[in-house]
Amino acid sequence: MKMKKRVETYVQKYEKILIFDLQENNNRFFFHGLISYITDFLNYQQLIICSKYISEIKNLRNMEFWSYQEMEEFVTLYYTYEFSDRITLISDSGQYSGLLNYLLTGLLTEEEFCRALLY
């Protein structure tokens, strides 16, 4: 229940929330580069939340790192409730129609991916 309240608070505070759920450690360098690239497009009304696998990223403004348990709890809530269109989940868990897959297969450039996430 704490996670639900936490997410509701974020939805009220930020206009866009990007959640990077890294399942496999071998993708952390890709996610690190992607998040570093995305931060060039961020404004103060946007929040990035990352799993602990990517914790070597410098703590940038409006950025949090969640434990595995926090991320699991959030993902369960995310698929159970529709909080808002302000939340975007980016995961390497095999979503074939997700934006990340479009980027990885070359259907989107990095810039197109970032713009699609943030707008």
Summarize the confidence of residues 68-96 as an average pLDDT: 78
Instruction: Say if CB 19 and CB 92 are below 8 A apart.
Output: no
- Dihedral over Cα of 89, 94, 95, 96: its sign: positive
Count of domains for the chain: 1
Least confident of 5-19, 54-68, 72-86, 105-119: 54-68
Summarize the confidence of residues 107-111 as an average pLDDT: 86
Range of the domain at 109: 2-118
pTM: 0.71
Q: Who has greater pLDDT, 117 or 70?
A: 70
pLDDT band at 101 (very low <50, low <70, confident <90, very high): confident
